[in-house]
Amino acid sequence: MADEEQLLSLLAIAEHGSISAAAEHLHRGQSAISERLRKLTELVGEPLYTREINGVKLTQAGAVLIPDIERLRRVLRDIDSIIRRRQRLMEGELNIVSTSLIANYYLPPFLTRFRQQYPGINLYIKSGERYWKDAAAGEVDVFFYEGDSDLPELPDYFKSVPWQDNEIVIVTPLQHPLAGRQNVSFEELESYPIIWREPGSAVRGAIEKEFRRRGIVPRHFIEVADIESVGTMINANLGIGFMSKRVLDKRSDWQVATATLESHQMVCLNFMAAPQPDRRSIMLQKFLEMIENPENLT
């Protein structure tokens, strides 16, 4: 049976292009890496790589193993993370990955309370889409995301649950025809340019779903990358937008007006992904108890 060191050595030469580079990455001698690869080759029964002028190249037999070895590496990282969590207990750190909107508008009250109660815990908060693709679940304690955001591949012991829904309001320039209106119909919205956030945001997903249900097709729109840009574009009288009331309540600096929609089925829903209870450190459990009970915040 192949052992993890043999398999990870094959992955290292695939990623780094040579035995010497793989040895440096794994902090082992070249002879040790070569011996691991020799034993793995004997076990498979055919060559796994060929030597070339500039390094090595995997054969088909070697390349077919790589996706499964990458999954093995993720599992091993997860196991290491579980052990570290158990070792940290009441001291150490929490690692949080979140979309920017949740980090800026939803999490701060919880983080403030947590720091007050547990000042010895270091918080690592990475917000923004660029952190999602390469985020290793085993190195993150909890994820917060909006709507249909694409999560990285999560281990089986992680569970995603809804977290913090909020009312959606129409946001308009101050002198807009819809400003201050109540029970605006969806049909009226077709006549105005719309400022969209990028696909994947909770509000946009909810609005588009309701538009499809009602057969509404916006004629003109501007798509931007973040909620701050939505506010800026509305301030500039470029169109109307949609956002959660929670966000708007925190942006008194925006010179905008609001309107409310007629009765609808839309929900602005955010999500949280965290390990099952038996896989959590004590500190993560304390943080999640606070997160899951917002009524305890004063």
Q: Which pTM was predicted?
A: 0.64
CB-neighbour burial class of residue 134 (10 A; exposed 0-12, middle 13-18, buried 19+): exposed
Does 157 share its domain with 274? yes
pLDDT at 136: 61
CA-wise closest residue to 266 among 178, 180, 189: 189
Does 155 share its domain with 183? no
Residues 210, 91: Cα–Cα separation, whole Å: 46
State the residue range of the domain holding 13. Answer: 4-84
Q: Residue 13 maps to which CATH number?
A: 1.10.10.10
Q: Residue 228 maps to which CATH number?
A: 3.40.190.10
**3-class DSSP assignment, residue 274:** strand
Does 22 share its domain with 71? yes
**3-class DSSP assignment, residue 285:** helix
Helix (H) or strand (E) holding 109: helix 108-117
pLDDT at 131: 57
Number of domains in the chain: 3
Does 24 share its domain with 47? yes
Residue 90 makes CB contacts below 8 A (sequence gap 6+) with 118, 120, 282, 283
The tens place of each residue's pLDDT in the chain, 298 residues long, gives: 778 888 898 889 888 988 888 888 888 898 888 898 888 888 888 888 888 888 888 899 888 889 989 888 888 887 777 676 655 544 578 889 888 888 999 999 999 999 898 887 889 998 876 555 555 656 788 999 887 666 667 778 888 888 887 888 899 999 999 999 999 998 988 889 999 888 878 888 888 888 888 888 888 889 998 889 999 999 999 999 998 888 888 888 889 999 988 888 777 788 899 988 888 888 888 899 988 876 655 4
φ, ψ dihedrals at 156, nearest 5°: -60, -25
Tokens (6 digits) for 295: 């009524």
